[in-house]
Chains A and B, each alone.
Chain A
């Protein structure tokens, strides 16, 4: 891997904030995890055109503001995430589709065929994070409804294969991806890791990773990595106070997934250690690392279970303890690949 030239740009970070979401704004068409989304909301994913009535997968419009109660939209819960007794979000089936209620932010009314989403912001709510929610949680739900396996993860491309970093929040997925991009890898996706399956010649399956988004969102403790990217890299502070950087993107819209890393930030050791994870254990970790947490629908649970099995049958999974910063060692990507025995696969020779 060859690292791009570095530049000291510690004083030039753009800290603009996204203004409140407008209603009835110009509709752009965005590429998001393989979906073409015509959206009235400016999204932080690649803009590929202006809506002209042409073919899109999803249309996202702003509806009226709507105060929502601290309760479920219906009793038919499809997925729900509760943290410390606080319901972060709930997806419920309603008569004409679904409602995703994200507390203190918005209701998203989703039609039954998953092609139209109406966003109803909460009055005086955290409107500024709606674009992040759309590109993350809402997109993940739409993809899962279309039958994709959607993990909570990031991925980079090295020598024509994707290397995924999977885990729950705070496990260093984006930071790992940033370190690999600094070492010459290209970004495939951050936060939402959509996977498809394709028959392979030998009767097995190839797991394909879909390109998604164009930015890595780093927490403040990893923000020092932003300054290592070339000075012409787009950088901003996001409404959820992450440091977003746009490294070079992969040129593939679908790319074979070569391996999955389960990162374990380690502040006590200065060497990478890695172990291959058995298929059974890997199944448990990946099941816990769904981008939509808390599926309740039995159909979704079954599908997720089967999809995870297909992934671990085809893709090696490694648990990797990574010396954590800041500062972060320059050669961590090489250490990780060597620790997992993946140098050949990700050199174009494997």
Chain B
């Protein structure tokens, strides 16, 4: 899933429900009744998406939080976004206009 710069991504809030549980984030996909537990980077990326961050925001957040390189942060972010896209859990918001 190629995301244009500045594009905001949104979780499909009608299709998922989530909450923090200790250090983890528990997610329920309502359409498939599948539960996911996220921690570490994945948890931070999910919360970033829930807040309406752009990919650049997410990459910057990972660099700041974990002290990793921009290449690694971009790779982690793209992998996570791609997985959510495969699960049809996110949608793009066209910021133009």
Give A residues with C-beta under 8 Å from B. 278-284, 287, 295-296, 298, 301-302, 305-306, 309, 312-313
Interface residues of B, CB < 8 Å — how many?
14
Contact of A305 among B19, B23, B25, B37 (CB under 8 A): B19
Question: Which A residue's beta carbon lies closest to that of B18?
Answer: A305
Report the 7 A-B pairs with minimum CB-CB distance, sorted nearest first: A280-B24, A279-B21, A279-B22, A280-B21, A280-B37, A283-B26, A309-B19
Q: Which of B28-36, B50-58, B72-80 contacts A (4 or more CB under 8 A)?
A: B28-36
Is the Cβ of A305 less than 8 Å from the Cβ of B28?
Answer: yes
Contact of B24 among A279, A298, A302, A305 (CB under 8 A): A279
Known A284-B37, A298-B30: A305·B22 in contact at CB below 8 Å: no
Complex Cα distance, B28 from A282, in Å, reads 14
Q: Which residues of A contact B33 (CB under 8 A)?
A: 295-296, 301
The verdict on B39 contacting chain A, using a C-beta distance below 8 Å, is yes
Is the Cβ of B21 less than 8 Å from the Cβ of A278?
Answer: yes
Sample of 29 A–B contacts (CB below 8 Å)? A278-B21, A280-B21, A280-B23, A280-B24, A280-B25, A280-B26, A280-B37, A281-B37, A282-B21, A283-B21, A283-B26, A283-B35, A284-B35, A287-B35, A296-B33, A298-B30, A301-B17, A301-B28, A301-B33, A302-B17, A302-B28, A305-B17, A305-B19, A305-B26, A306-B17, A306-B19, A309-B21, A309-B26, A312-B21
Q: Which residues of B contact A305 (CB under 8 A)?
A: 17, 19, 26, 28
Q: Which residues of A contact B24 (CB under 8 A)?
A: 278-280
Question: Which A residue's beta carbon lies closest to that of B35?
Answer: A284
Complex Cα distance, B94 from A265, in Å, reads 54
Q: Which residues of B contact A313 (CB under 8 A)?
A: 21
